[in-house]
Structure 1
Amino acid sequence: MICALGSAVCYGTASVLQAVAARAAEPGTGSGVDPALLLRALRQWRYAAGLALDGLGFVLQIVALRALPIYAVGAALAASLAVTAVVAARVLHVRLSSTEWAAVAVVCGGLAMLGLASGAEGHRTGSAALRWSLLAVALAIPLAGAAAGRLPDRARALTLGLGSGFGFGVVEVAVRLIDPAAPLDPANPALWALLLGGGAAFLLLTSALQRGSVTTATAGLVLGETIGPALVGVAWLGDRTRGGLEWLAITGFAVAVAGALTLARFGEPPAPAGEGGEGGEGGEAWRVDARE
């Protein structure tokens, strides 16, 4: 659980850095999936630093997934929004409302309940059908992102967010389907699902961060990376809770995700100076000079 929370700290801090860098990058083609946008964002030192934190967070996430049920790790990763809110408050001087501070506390409480209720990870290795299905989902994610570029703003944001969340969810499940004794086995569809799902998730998330309001997208991200993988872990991989504490695990999971959704506006990229923002209280503080 310490590794899962450490991963959330890394991801949450990286989000603040990447939001500034992605907004400073030149606009792309308008497609839901824009690989060139990722290359342009990499020219910003903040984005590179954010990627380094993402790499460390991913290592911690893998360690956590090898010891905890997917539902516990997924909820901890959703808590990265609480980290983003706190980091934004400290670094970018964003003012959190009393409701948002309460949401941070709610997320922490939900994670505490999950920590008490979580059992060990399930020991099922997953069927071949599950591995191939995971690869099919990973292949569908960039196609959905490309289609999102032609949707109206709100539907586009939700589709990009859900697609990114599904991509990160694919990574969570794939880690459990890869044999630690042969992690680079090219015959294992889960390995390709991990690579494709993770890459597509980053592309969609970067596009969402760069293209205006992504509060809806961030909510979709949280839902996509938590609920689906949690159900797969329980139904097909044998994830369970400690005896008699199923109710506490379900409550903790729901509370943590609900608190994260309340903080969804902190997926919002900082608006350029002189533009109106819709980030609510503290929106002015997000208007930083991305060239600094």
Structure 2
Amino acid sequence: MLALLGAVLAAIAYGAATVLQAIGVQRIAAAPAGASWLERGRAGWLYAVGLALDAGGFLASLAALQSLPLFLVESMLASSVGVTAVLAVVLLGVRLSRREVAVLVMVGIGLVLLAVSAHEGNARLVGTAGSWLLLGGAGLVTAVFIAGLLDADRGRSSLVLASASGLGFGLTGIVARVLDTSNPLWHTVFQPQLWALIVAGAVALVAYGFALDRGRTTSVAAITFATETVIPAAIGLAFLGDGVRSGFVIVAVLGFVATLGGCVALAGHAEVEPRRAEIEH
């Protein structure tokens, strides 16, 4: 239950961070032309709060992944887009259509189905060879990012960068699932999978920003959500010992499809547009 609570808190933190960062960026942009960096920083202090929530959400997800399967935790993290949509309604006065409300309900039902079907347990350790393989995976994510960054076609570039972001976020989830933190800190620092987590996470964040700059938010968010959820879930079930409760396979499949499909449908709310009154407040 504590691990499940950590996953829920991570999703809430990520969803709230998106709203606060959107408001912060808009307030910084609305600052007078001659404003100093200090004045801009004060205007956009909510952006810093959003970053702190991102960090807290990341730590909560790490804790959840120590005992919950990837298909459950990654689906819950992807559902943060639903949290963003709800908070946009509460805080920014955004109106959701009946279809979007129905999708939110579908995501909620999907998460409940996943929660009741997931089998709790520690992941299978990957060993030294697996650790280096994960670090190699971080190198592959970096290569995909560079290829997308250098692509002159902005539309294709955004799709490649979104894929790199999804792969990077997915890899951080995989590493968090198998990372052995029982060793002394100095020993953990030298584990290849820890550096795989750092590199993949950093590349994923940068790639997502470039992808949003070059493509449509809806497409970028949908590709990122799908990639970071489906691939880790498959790897967890195939290689890391993630499991489903006996007799709950169909329930798990229905929950996964409902959650992922709903998150992709809500991808347009991954970036919110605050009201002018809220920005100037």
Q: TM-score, normalised by structure 2?
A: 0.84
The alignment status of 1:12 with 2:20, answered yes or no, reads no
SS in 2 for 1:55: helix
Q: CA RMSD in A?
A: 2.6
Q: CA, structure 1 residues 22+231, in 2 after alignment: closer, same or farther (shift >3 Å)?
A: farther
Q: Residue 146 in 1 paired to residue 146 in 2?
A: yes
- Counterpart-to-counterpart distance in 2, 1:92 and 1:125: 45
The amino acid that maps onto 1:137 is G
Matched residue type, 1:229: P
1:217 equivalent in alignment to 2:224: no
1:135 matched to 2:151? The reply is no
CA deviation after TM superposition for structure 1 residue 2, in Å: 1.8
Structure 1 gaps of 5+ residues are 27-39, 271-284
The secondary structure found in structure 1 opposite 2:244 is: coil
Residue 209 of structure 2 corresponds to which residue in structure 1? 206
Question: Within 2, Cα distance between the matches of 1:42 and 1:159?
Answer: 35
Q: Secondary structure at the match of 1:156?
A: helix
Return the offset for 1:82.
0.4
Q: Is the 8 A contact 1:154 1:216 kept in 2?
A: no
Q: Secondary structure at the match of 2:189?
A: coil
Partner of 2:65: 65
Q: Is residue 101 of structure 2 the alignment partner of residue 82 of structure 1?
A: no
In the TM superposition, what are the counterparts of 1:38-187 in structure 2 within 5 Å?
A: 44-149=44-149, 150-182=151-183, 185-187=188-190
Give the % identical residues.
Answer: 35
User: Structure 1 pair 151/242, CA: closer, same or farther in 2 (3 Å)?
Assistant: farther
CA–CA separation in structure 2 for the residues paired with 1:95 and 1:122:
42
Matched-pair contact (CA < 8 Å) for 1:22–1:210? no
Give, in whole Å, the separation in 2 of the partners of 1:42 and 1:212: 30
Distance 1:102 1:257, change over 3 A: same
Question: Structure 1-normalised TM-score?
Answer: 0.81
Amino acid in structure 2 at the alignment position of 1:202: L
The alpha-carbon deviation at position 237 of structure 1 amounts to 0.9
Distance in structure 1 (CA, Å) of the matches to 2:211 and 2:226: 16
2:237 counterpart letter in structure 1: V
**1:209, 1:268 within 8 Å by CA — same for their partners in 2?**
no
Alignment deviations for residues 27-50 of structure 1 (CA, whole Å, 9 cap, x no partner): xxxxxxxxxxxxx99994232111
2:120 alignment partner, SS class: coil
> 1:176-215 deviations in whole A, cap 9, x for unaligned?
2221212552332110011111111222223344556321
CA-CA distance at 1:106 after TM superposition: 0.5
One-letter amino acid of the counterpart of residue 216, structure 2: S
Which residue of 243, 259, 262 maps to 2:262? 259
Residue 248 of structure 2 is matched in structure 1 by 245
Q: 1:105 to 1:237 in 2, by over 3 A?
A: same
Partner SS state of residue 119, structure 2: coil
Can you give the 5+ residue segments of structure 2 that lack an aligned partner in the other structure? 30-39
Three-state SS of the structure 1 residue aligned to 2:68 is coil
What is the alpha-carbon distance in structure 2 between the residues aligned to residue 153 and residue 211 of structure 1?
Answer: 6
Give aligned pairs, total.
Answer: 265
- Distance in structure 2 (CA, Å) of the matches to 1:151 and 1:42: 37
| Deviation for aligned residue 1:133 | 2.3
- CA 1:207/1:41 → structure 2, altered by over 3 Å: closer, same or farther? farther
Deviation at 1:51, TM superposition (A): 0.9
Equivalent-residue separation in structure 2 for 1:162 and 1:289 (angstroms): 33
Larger Rg, first or second structure (1 or 2): 2
Q: Quick one: distance in 1 between partners of 2:9 and 2:130? A: 29
Change (3 A) 1:44 1:206: farther
